[in-house]
Amino acid sequence: MPRSPAHSSHSSHASSRSASHASSRAPSRSSSHGASHPSPRSSRSSRSHSHPPLSSPPRSLMAALMLCLTALLLWWLNLPGGQGPVQAAGPSPSPSVEVTATPSPAPTPMPTPSPTSEPTPTPTPTPVAPDYSQSVPAGDAADADAWFQDAVFIGDSRTDGFHLYSGVKGGTYLVHTGLTVFEVIGHEPVLGTGENKYSVLSALGNKQYGKVYIALGVNELGWFDADAYSEAMGKLVDKIRALQPDAVLYIQAIVPVNSEVCKSKGQPYYVTNENISNYNEALAQLCEEKEVWLVNIAEALVDPETGELPADMTHDGVHFKKAGYQAWLEYLLCHTGQPQEEPGEASLPSQEPVPTRGSSPAPSPEI
Amino acid sequence: MKKFLSVFLLTGFLLSLSACQGESPKADFALADAQTLLDSAAFSEPLEELDLEIACSLYGLDQSKITEAAVYGSTGATAEELAVLVFTDAEAASAAKANFETRISDRAEAMKDYIPTEVPKLEKAVLEVRGNTLLFVVANDYAPVEELLK
């Protein structure tokens, strides 16, 4: 930074003159008296010839004086704000810039080139472990045309209605009106027609699926035994896992009914929301124990204030109207249990753009 | 007297001629017939329409043989259902009749332990083929169906 012209005027008259002398003297001794003055030697020599020599200070005194002047100059250069000799004019600093102490000039080191062959490590998303103590959380909606292509549904008349009226694309339906979990694990031949009937589990063993959706429980309410229901569902999970080792299991909670409509339509006395609640509680514990997803489809259908199936969503208090099955479908598409990711520590460098949380595509399900 | 006998004989002759002609062919079924029944008192609850692809899957039909369809079913509360189908030809319509007969027997089997009161509806089910069209009805009240069939 060029020194401020005002700074030199602050120095004392003696130091300014000494500085000028020092600067003029530094390059050449002969110019110690300035350009307008002849060199001392020449002036002395000229004077020595024409006039008698004047008395000159001793050499040691001169040397001492030079030393003092040099020290003074160096001290002055190191003062805060001191800029040294006047340099080439440059842009004066803006008044808003705070002038700080300028360190002694040092050669600017050449910047070390950063290695370009090695990409900067980016955080690798770490899959969040599924929490089976809760029902499957909502996530990005799956592709309605593709998601159920490798799915199989095991259920009763409600699932039959889902198949017929939800608008679902794809899927295999092992459903039977009145089906119970006891019939399924008991290998009852409830599917098929006439003499060609077969059991749900035998049908399940014919093909490998990516997802297995189970919705059973309404027809078991008459047993008034949530523990027996849960135990049977646990056995069903084990059997399905043996037949479909790579499939993701989804156990759907029992959707509550509309009490008034059930009564007006003469539904069995055991079809009550209290009974359903007991069964669902046992189901939730089972899902956590077996580490399978509980799909709380009741969230899509039930009035949150009453906890019941709305009267305008059912004809008989138990089964849903078309709109209800469609809402069921939408719920399944948004509750797939796809692994969620959270930012992890920087590990291996990633060649892909860093995904923005919530906007990255869902990974492919395990098949 | 002679005039009276002549008129009497002539009338009898004309009546006998008309009897020999037989019944006039009934019109094929049309999609509008489905709406007629839906608007009548034939069913105990509103039926929901089924997608044709789903309907073919349900009844085991070849969708390529069907040119027009109106298929409706219960959402699970009853065994009531309705189908009016127009096939590519009479042979396809006749062949499809067997599928619906199977449907009736399967539903009766399922309903007898689930909702036994629905079984009589299935026993009275209407299944008729006219030309390349087919009508299948499981109703709560068959009076409107009989009226349509006239």
Crossing angle for the helix pair A59-77 and A13-25, nearest 10 degrees?
110
Residue % of chain A over a pLDDT of 90: 55
CB contact under 8 A, B111 and A177: yes
Among A55-69, A320-334, B103-117, name the one with the lowest average pLDDT. Answer: A55-69
Give the ipTM.
0.84
> How many Å apart are CA A157 and CA B74, to the nearest integer?
11
Nearest residue on chain B to A191, judged by CA atoms?
B106
For A251-266, write each residue's pLDDT tens digit: 999 999 999 999 999 9
> How many Å apart are CA A238 and CA A234, to the nearest integer?
6
pLDDT at A158: 97
> How many Å apart are CA A234 and CA A304, to the nearest integer?
29
Residue whose entry in the numeric block shows the structure tokens 């300028």: A102
**Mean predicted confidence (pLDDT) in A27-41:** 35
**Mean predicted confidence (pLDDT) in A44-49:** 37
CB contact under 8 A, A322 and B50: no
pLDDT band at A13 (very low <50, low <70, confident <90, very high): very low
Q: Is the pLDDT of residue A36 over 90?
A: no
Picking from B49, B54, B75 by the largest number of A CB atoms within 10 A of its own CB, the best residue to mutate is: B75
For residues A20 and A113, which has the higher predicted lDDT (pLDDT)? A113
- B54 in A contact zone (CB under 8 Å): yes
CB contact under 8 A, B76 and A316: yes
For residues A23 and A141, which has the higher predicted lDDT (pLDDT)? A141
> How many Å apart are CA A180 and CA A176, to the nearest integer?
9
For A135-180, write each residue's pLDDT tens digit: 999 999 999 999 999 999 999 999 999 999 999 999 999 999 999 9
**Mean predicted confidence (pLDDT) in A214-231:** 96
Q: Give per-residue burial for A98-125: e unless 16+ CB within 10 Å, then b.
A: eeeeeeeeeeeeeeeeeeeeeeeebeeb
pLDDT at A75: 86
pLDDT at A76: 82
Total beta-carbon pairs less than 8 A apart between chain A and chain B:
50
- All residues of chain B having their beta carbon less than 8 Å from the beta carbon of residue A315 are 45-46, 74-75, 77
- B116 in A contact zone (CB under 8 Å): no
**Residues in chain B, pLDDT under 50:** none
- The total number of residues shown for chain A amounts to 367
pLDDT at B3: 75
Name A208's Cβ contacts closer than 8 Å, sequence gap at least 6: A244, A246, A247, A367
In angstroms, how far is CA A53 from the centroid of its own chain? 91
On average, the pLDDT of chain A sits at 76
For A74-125, write each residue's pLDDT tens digit: 888 776 554 444 343 333 433 333 434 444 445 555 655 555 566 666 666 6
Q: For residue A221, which of A263, A178, A261, A260 has the smallest C-alpha distance?
A: A178
Picking from A177, A182, A264, A320 by the largest number of B CB atoms within 10 A of its own CB, the best residue to mutate is: A177
